Structures are given as structure tokens and as C-alpha cells.
Chain A
Amino acid sequence: METLIDLRSVTLGYGRNRVLRDVSLTVGDGDFVGVVGPNGSGKSTLLKALLGLLRPSSGEVVRSDRAREVGYVPQRDSIDPLYPLTVLDIVLMGLFRRLRPWSRIGRGERDEAMRCLSHVGIADLANREYASLSGGQQQRVIIARALMGRPSLLALDEPTNGMDLPAERSIMDLIERLHVEGGITVLMVSHLLNTVVNYAHHIAFVGDGRVQAGTVAEMVTPARMSELYSSPVQVAMFGDRRIVLPDRASHCEHEVRGRVEAGVNA
């Protein structure tokens, strides 16, 4: 598998604030990498470094030419609904880097935008105002925009944030379809561990200023998850789906033992 992005012992942060230290991570062509971890752990910081938006304060980031053809899907909240834009206007933004000053958007560009909208199943919404759409529809618009220019890498930041269960499932199935049928490498940041472990091939777990990465089979085991979350965790299979759960029995036992010991010491 060709390497698209290779982080070699990088330290990441903003100004003097170091968020992540000694990070080594490889993203291969055709891979599906899930970046998971608690809120505020530095997942988006890691994504920015992978995309070249954040320079590491030490270490090296090596990106192949194919890794520069990125379709980026930012968090939906970062998009301001005040702007008077239709769905088609937003999707066409994916082509702006190709257009010269003064040039007009032609029929070819519009057709490509409509193709991307069809690909994500919302061609009928092309002339609707972005602000009037539901969360799931808005997410599809942003994914369609990322598909303009046929990227080799799709980077998504919390794509299912704030969605109900059917919408979340529908967006994840769409991402999987783009990955499997379109051959697009996927790099997805999410705090929803149970969602990511059922779609990704590799997991990068971000926490305590560090990143630990491996295949899903290597990373999603009770021992590894308990160590990463510093709390007893069970991994169950439900049909062909993995579910990561807090181990309540062990957790209660752990807590009671702690209280008893505290009482004895008091």
C-alpha cells in the first residue's frame, strides 16, 4: 500500500502550548483511518497536521503528491448559515482553486457539481438554500463539495456530530460507499468510538497528549481500551458489529473497593 501521509515523531501545538507529543502515524492509499478520542484531546489538531494546515514544532510530515488532492469536510458548525448561498453555490466552491480571476463558471462545472450531488443523493436540492436544510442534508452538501475535483483523500472532521441515529447511519454508509466503490482514502475524526470501529481499518487513539495507532483488531480489545480510557471496558460483538462498553460490574467493584479502602484509611 503506497504511503500518502507519514508523520514522523512530530510535536503539535499552538504557540507555546504543546497539544500532542512524539506522534508517528502513517496513512496508506486506500486506507480508512479513524481518529478517535475524548473531546478536547487534540483530534482536530492531528487532522490539521495531516492535511498540512498546521506545521509541527518538531518532527517531520511527509506527504505524497496524491495526498495533496484532498477533499476536506469541516465540522458543520464551522459553516455560517448567514451567507446567502444555495446548495449548488456551495458545491461549486470545490472548483474555485481551478478558476482564474474574471473567469465564469461554465456548463461543465455545473454538470460536475450535479454529478457530485447525485453521488451523495441530494441532486433534487441543488437550488435550495443551504440554511434551510436539515443537519444530515447539510452534511451531504459539504461532502459533495469535498468530492469536486475527484480527491484521492477525503478528510472528515466529526461528520456525524449532532445527528440522530438514522442520519448518522446514513452518512456513515455514504462514506463507506465512497471508500469502497470510489476507492477514496478516508481519514475521519470522531469522538464516537462505536461508530468509527465498525467502519475504519485503522484507529488512531488520541489522549493524554499522545497518539496510539494500529489496526482495529489490535486496538479494540478490552485490555487496550481499558488502558486507553483508564477505566474497565468491554468489547462485545453484536452480529458483525463491535460495541465498546464501560464494564459496569468491574467499574462498580473497582469503585466499592476504592471507597472501602478510603473508609479504612479514614
Chain B
Amino acid sequence: MSPLSWSEVLEGLRLNQAGLLAGCLIAAVCSTIGVYVVLKRIVFVGVSLAQISGAGVALAFLLAPALPIARDHPIAISLAVTLAGVLVYAQHGASARVPRESGIGIGYLVASALTLIFIVRSPKGLDEIKELLDGNIVALHGQDLISVAWLTGAVLAVHAAFHRQFLFTSFDPEMAATHGFRVRGWELLLHLTLGVTIAASIQYAGLLAVFAYLVMPAVTGLCVARRMKPVMLVSMATAVLSTVVGFALALKWDLPTSPPMIAVMTLALSAAWLLSRLRRSAN
């Protein structure tokens, strides 16, 4: 199959406006929260929650024939499962004998195994694994876009309102506690926004893209910018630009959307890393 011409790609983008907009919203919110994920060194919590959320989507596929809510709103099942995972991970420090990383790794493994079992037992079968990993953002409809807009809007509003609380309690929890901040509460809220974002994004954008959005744009931002706001803006811009370009490349060469997006993010990250090296050697 020969690749599409660029004018055909532009026409394809116009026809898939809803998917493209939803992808940009998901990219924006994931890359904003991703800055905290990278700074708090909880990248593996992000991976594990993404996998747990994927298990939730798979569970919804399995329950769909018997349970109308699972068929009509798989996101509700995914959200419930992800939030349960958030609450378990928020209990860190409960055991001095088991390191936190081990708990996160076990969560990831159990979620991966359950995902496979749910999908194998679901009516549609293994094709869904591919869809779960890659997402199917091209197939999004207007109604899906509205759902994504509400969820991402709510998460971004929480972060805009409470960014100081999130920053202070992440950067220096002890000092924040002496100032009367409920550190555990703010940490739980941050994790909840992470869980909601992942659960809302994963069934549309897929596991790979969501995890990439959480990590790569934030690292790009940290390479080139030196203050929190610019880091977040660079992170968001990188994620949105990678979505648009990756979407176009996926249409042109008839590829799943995630790999071209990740390729563009890799290029942006390489350029940012090179720039930071040049800047450091110039100093």
C-alpha cells in the first residue's frame, strides 16, 4: 500500500478532528502531571497505574455482555480499578520490610497477568490486546471528545488551583508539614489526579502513548527550561506537537498512532538533551 499524499493527510486530519483534539487534550494533561511524576521519581508508579488501568479496561471488555455499564462506560470500570491501585500505592511506608519499588513491581505484574486473563476470556479475544496497547484515537467520536474534555479539564483545573500545594509538599514535605499543609492528603490528591488521567486516557490513546506522555515530554522540559512554569509549558508543547505530527505520520503511512508519536517525542527529547549539553559546555 503506497503512502498517502500530504494533501490526503491534511484531509484525513480534518475528518478525524475529534480524535486529534482528544489526543491533544490527553497529551496536555498527561505531560503536565508528568512533570511531577518525573520530579517525584515515581515513573514506575505511572507505568504500574497505566497497566492497572489497562487491566480495568480489559475487565470491562470481559464484563460487557453481562453488565451494561461495562459495555457503555468501560472508563468507569477502569477508573474504579485505577483508583483502588492509587489508594494501595498511597499507603507507602506501611511496611519497613518491603521496599516500595517491590510493591509497585508486584502491582505491575499482577495487573499484566490479569489483563491477559480478562482479554483471553472476553468475547472479542486477543485483538483487544493490540487495541489496548496502541489505542484507537482515530476512531473517536464527538461524544468521546466531550468526555475527554470534561475529565482533562477537571484535572487541569485542580492542578492550576493547587499547583503551589503540590509543589511545596513534593519538594519539601517536612517544611510543608510545619506550615500546616496536610502532606499525605495533598500527595493522595496528586496521585488521584494521576490515576484519573491515566484511566481516562488509556482506553483512547493506549498504554504506550499514555506512558510516553507521562515521561518523555517532562524530561524534555527539564532538559531545556530552568523554572517550573517553563518546564511545564515545554512539556505540554512537546506532547501536543508530537501528537499532531505523529497523528499525521500515522495517517500517511497507515500506522497505529502511538509509535509515530513516540518517535517524534524521542526526536524532541534528543534535541533537548543535545541543547542542554551544548549549554553546559558553553558555561
Contact = CB atoms under 8 A, between A and B. Distances in A.
Interface of A: 51-53, 70, 72, 74, 78-80, 82-86, 89, 93-94, 96-97, 99, 101-102, 129, 145-146, 155
Contacts of B165: 96
Contacts of A86: 226-227
Contacts of B67: none
User: Which of B177, B181, B225 has its CB near the most chain A CB atoms (within 10 A)?
Assistant: B177
Contacts of B230: 84
B180 A97 contact: yes
Nearest to A93: B168
B172 A79 contact: yes
Contacts of A78: 172, 174
Contacts of B175: 72, 74, 93, 145-146
Given A80-B39, A85-B228, A93 B172 contact: yes
Given A83-B39, A84-B227, A101-B162, A53 B177 contact: yes
A53 B178 contact: yes
User: Which of A70, A86, A97 has its CB near the most chain B CB atoms (within 10 A)?
Assistant: A97
Nearest to B94: A15
Interface in B149-184: 160-162, 164-165, 167-168, 171-172, 174-181
B174 A84 contact: no
B177 A89 contact: no
Given A70-B178, A82-B39, A84-B222, A96 B164 contact: yes
B36 to A, nearest CB: 10
A70 B181 CA distance: 13
B38 to A, nearest CB: 8
Contacts of B227: 84-86, 89
30 contacts: A51-B178, A72-B174, A72-B175, A72-B179, A74-B172, A74-B175, A78-B172, A80-B39, A82-B222, A83-B39, A84-B225, A84-B228, A84-B230, A85-B171, A89-B227, A89-B228, A93-B171, A94-B179, A96-B165, A96-B179, A96-B181, A97-B180, A97-B181, A99-B164, A101-B162, A102-B160, A102-B161, A145-B175, A146-B175, A155-B178
B231 interface: yes
**What secondary structure prevails in chain B residues at the interface with A?**
helix
Given A86-B227, A101-B162, A102-B160, A79 B171 contact: yes
B199 to A, nearest CB: 24
A75 B29 CA distance: 34
Interface string B26-47: 0000000000000100000000
B170 to A, nearest CB: 8
Contacts of A93: 164, 167-168, 171-172, 175
Nearest to A79: B172
Contacts of B176: 96
A96 B169 CA distance: 11
A53 B227 CA distance: 30
A15 to B, nearest CB: 8
A84 B167 CA distance: 11
Interface in B175-196: 175-181
B178 A72 contact: yes
User: Which of B167, B179, B180, B228 has its CB near the most chain A CB atoms (within 10 A)?
Assistant: B179
Nearest first, the 8 A-B pairs at minimum CB distance are A101-B161, A72-B178, A97-B179, A74-B174, A96-B164, A96-B168, A72-B175, A84-B231
Contacts of B39: 80, 82-83
Contacts of B160: 102
Given A78-B172, A84-B227, A129-B226, 19 more contacts: A53-B174, A53-B178, A70-B178, A72-B175, A72-B179, A79-B172, A80-B171, A83-B39, A83-B228, A85-B228, A89-B228, A93-B171, A96-B165, A96-B168, A97-B181, A99-B164, A145-B175, A146-B175, A155-B178
